[in-house]
A and B are shown apart, each in its own frame.
Chain A
């Protein structure tokens, strides 16, 4: 498994975590909703797709097209799932954040 040298950008980090949290039902809108409900951040669907596109080009997620449905105007969903490299990237980024925040006062929840 390739371990990335560069940590994830903040939005990449959040979107990758959202893909992991949503699991098998991860597609653009569920990822957006997960971010909104977990962080309160109102993120646009375009920003989600742009980030998913970047993550896929880095090999951190994979996508496949589902069946078109009537409630979507006959348009298919694009499902996403995290790869082993994506997990590695998340782990590396978490390690960096933990190391950088270790010993700093005022960051812990009271």
Chain B
């Protein structure tokens, strides 16, 4: 009976602990349990063990949720980034179809249309994860920086600056508008 209780408690603890902490944490408790069982009795040691498992649950869960929150924030930001890419491509395609040459040109109209679209996507992302628009803005800034450094194509300075500013600014504004909304809780 004692062994079974110990086994169940250990299983619960190992489910609660973050992966990296699992083995050392359970090992520490096992070692201390054996010492206490020798010094006092198995039932006293088990009582101590169960108390440790119960008291350990809230802090370990908090660690796991904090780690999970980061993963979900990055996932939402990535999905938002894909949505921004689709929106930009659609706008470029729609504008190019209406131009006579069809050749790539630096179109202020494209940036103007993209701005509210990115804002809306960031606003929507912030509904799921509050910090996702910040990650989205950072991702856009990083990609634009890399593209600017790698491109051999010459482009007007205004377009270069606008390209840097429009995406992150729209993501920030979308997040700011979302944060203005009173929370439901």
Contacts and interface: CB of A to CB of B under 8 A. Distances in A.
Interface of A: 27-29, 32, 44-47, 49-51, 53-54, 65, 68-69, 71-73, 75-78
A106 B23 CA distance: 45
Nearest to A46: B56
A71 B31 contact: yes
Listed residue (B17, B27, B55, B60) with the most chain A CB atoms within 10 angstroms of its CB: B27
B113 interface: no
A28 B30 CA distance: 12
B105 interface: no
Contact of A49 (B21, B32, B58): B21
A45 B23 contact: no
A37 to B, nearest CB: 14
A27 B24 contact: yes
B21 A72 contact: no
B25 A28 contact: yes
Interface of B: 13, 16-18, 20-21, 23-32, 34, 52, 55-60, 62-63
A45 B63 contact: no
> Which secondary structure dominates chain B's binding surface?
helix
A10 to B, nearest CB: 14
Contacts of A65: 24
Given A53-B18, A53-B21, A53-B63, A46 B27 contact: no
Given A28-B28, A49-B17, A53-B63, A44 B52 contact: yes
Nearest to A28: B28
Contacts of B60: 46, 49-50
A44 B21 contact: no
Nearest to A73: B30
A32 B62 CA distance: 19
B28 A29 contact: yes
Nearest to B63: A50
A27 B28 contact: yes
B68 to A, nearest CB: 14
A29 B21 contact: no
A51 B59 CA distance: 9
Nearest to A79: B24
